[in-house]
């Protein structure tokens, strides 16, 4: 019997997200579909998520449980389970000079990146611009076609999946499988890791530790120094032999 997924499994997910009202694809990690949205797409990375960790919209996250790998599924989601209902409080007036300073001419219908969000220009008149901060898919029913390609067993892949979701990038780390520890060496990460170490523990059962990079580098420098010392000794011996040989030949 094929293995089925459960909460906190890490999976590689292939999906297509569609707006049900017009059947338009709004998101996908399948290259053939992605190039239909943007012909300039060159690479589409696999998506790895942990089930039940809110790495995808709520409704899709719930649908990922108790599914077989390699099988295609379809999930239809209401706004409450997808991108939420529209909120009138998120439609705001912004001074036009803000856009002028950014060398932007805000025209109705434009989609802009503002405050780390995609916003839509509703209207522009006089010195004010009406902006809709609602998610473009808020209030819409959506559909996801998805296939779970595999269930991950490699802990390094799992750590990188969590890093990508929490930090937006991957930092170097080591894993002590025996002691169940994830060891980072970037001291500047300490405040962030302290804030999220319980999340690593919850999803993987591993503790997070920060080992000063300096100590690791000092260890490498000592080893390098030993290697250089050994190399220097070999070169000295070679020079000594060559010198003795030249003296002997001159005699």
Q: What is the DSSP letter of 2?
A: -
* Contact criterion met (CB below 8 Å) for 134 and 90: yes
- CB-facing half-sphere around the CA of 219: CA atoms within 13 A: 6
Query: CA 145 to CA 14: how far, in whole Å?
Result: 8
Report helix, strand and coil shares of the chain as percent, to nearest 5: 35, 30, 35
In this predicted structure, what is the pLDDT of residue 173? 95
pLDDT recorded at residue 224: 62
Which sign, positive or negative, has the C-alpha torsion 220, 224, 227, 229?
negative
Architecture of domain 1-84+141-152 in this structure: Roll (3.10)
- Which residue is it, tokens 């005699």? 251
- Rounded to the nearest 5 degrees, what angle is found at the Cα of 110, between the Cα atoms of 109 and 112? 140
Q: Tell me, yes or no, if the two domains 1-84+141-152 and 88-132 fold the same way.
A: no
Architecture of the domain spanning 88-132? Beta Barrel (2.40)
Q: Where are the domains of the chain?
A: 1-84+141-152, 88-132
Using CA atoms, how far apart are residues 122 and 93, in angstroms rounded to an integer?
10
> What is the residue-level pLDDT of the chain in tens, covering all 251 positions?
778 999 999 999 999 999 999 999 999 999 999 998 888 888 888 999 999 999 999 999 999 999 999 999 999 999 999 999 999 999 999 999 999 998 999 999 999 988 777 899 999 998 999 999 999 999 999 999 999 999 999 999 999 999 999 988 899 999 999 999 999 988 888 888 889 999 999 999 999 998 875 555 555 555 666 666 656 655 656 655 555 555 555 55
Q: What is the three-class DSSP state of 220?
A: helix
Q: Do residues 118 and 110 make contact, with C-beta atoms less than 8 angstroms apart?
A: no
State the pLDDT at residue 68: 97
């Amino acid at each position: 019997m094929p293995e089925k997924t459960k909460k906190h499994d890490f999976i590689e997910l292939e999906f297509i997200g569609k707006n049900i009202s017009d059947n338009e694809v709004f998101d996908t990690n399948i290259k053939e579909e992605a190039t239909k949205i943007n012909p300039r797409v060159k690479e589409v990375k696999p998506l790895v998520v942990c089930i039940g960790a809110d790495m995808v919209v709520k409704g899709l996250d719930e649908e990922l449980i108790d599914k077989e790998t390699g099988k295609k599924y379809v999930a239809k989601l209401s706004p409450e389970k997808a991108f939420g209902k529209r909120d009138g409080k998120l439609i705001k007036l912004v001074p036009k000079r803000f856009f002028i300073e950014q060398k932007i001419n805000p025209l109705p219908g434009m989609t802009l990146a503002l405050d780390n969000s995609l916003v839509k220009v509703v209207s522009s008149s006089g010195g004010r611009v009406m902006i809709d901060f609602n998610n473009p898919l808020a209030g819409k029913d959506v559909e996801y076609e998805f296939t779970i390609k595999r269930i991950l067993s490699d802990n390094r892949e799992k750590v990188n999946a969590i890093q990508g979701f929490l930090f937006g990038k991957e930092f170097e780390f080591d894993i002590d499988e025996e002691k169940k520890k994830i060891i980072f060496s970037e001291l500047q990460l300490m405040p962030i890791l302290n804030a999220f170490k319980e999340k690593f523990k919850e999803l993987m059962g591993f503790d997070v530790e920060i080992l000063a990079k300096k100590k690791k580098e000092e260890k490498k420098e000592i080893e390098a120094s030993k290697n250089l010392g050994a190399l220097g000794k070999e070169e000295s011996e070679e020079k000594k032999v060559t010198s003795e040989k030249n003296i002997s030949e001159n005699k």
